[in-house]
Amino acid sequence: MIFVTLGSQKFQFNRLLLEIDNLVKKNILKPNEVFAQIGYSTYEPKTYSFKKFLNKEEFLEYIEKSNIVVTHGGTGSIINSVKKGKKVIGVPRLAEFGEHVDNHQLEIIEQFTNSDLIYGVLDIKELGDSIGKVKDMVFRSYRSNSNNIINILEDFLDTSFK
């Protein structure tokens, strides 16, 4: 299953949803294999199932059921997916299409791609090929640095306030 998630910020990502519809119409994807959480997008998919918003439990359940997660450049969606060992395709929202206020998602997608955690797609027309490619790709496992950061802070506080 392919889970498409567009986050919960008040921006549309119609361009991505429309491309998924195009891929279903071209028989590159099967309609019963795609589910999307479309958020504030105004375009509603014609060929596959969707819901505007999912609660946290539903969101994690769809990640769990999926083989591939197609997501915007939101760190929460990306990290939740790679933590579960899912193959992630990141497509950044772009300001020129009214999808965000700036293009910071380009940098986020680039960083995760360069870290070999996800596959970044900058040209929406490459999405179909990308879905085929990631099926055979092996990505690096995600490891959180939270404990390292906490240890550094604790060491600093211990030495600073003694």
DSSP string covering the chain, please?
Answer: -EEEE--SSS---HHHHHHHHHHHHTTSS-GGGEEEE-TT-S---SSSEEES---HHHHHHHHHH-SEEEE-S-HHHHHHHHHTT-EEEE----GGGTSSSSSHHHHHHHHHHHTTSSEE-SSGGGHHHHHHHHTT---PPP---HHHHHHHHHHHHHHHT-
Q: Which domain holds residue 122?
A: 2-160
What pTM, to 2 d.p., does this model score? 0.87
CATH number for the domain spanning 32: value is: 3.40.50.2000
Query: So what's the pLDDT on residue 156?
Result: 63
Give the pLDDT score at 84: 95
Domains in the chain: how many in total? Answer: 1
Residuewise pLDDT in 10s, the chain (162 residues): 999 999 888 999 999 999 999 999 999 999 999 999 999 999 999 999 999 999 999 999 999 999 999 999 999 999 999 999 999 999 999 989 889 988 889 999 999 999 999 999 999 999 999 999 999 999 988 777 666 666 666 666 676 655
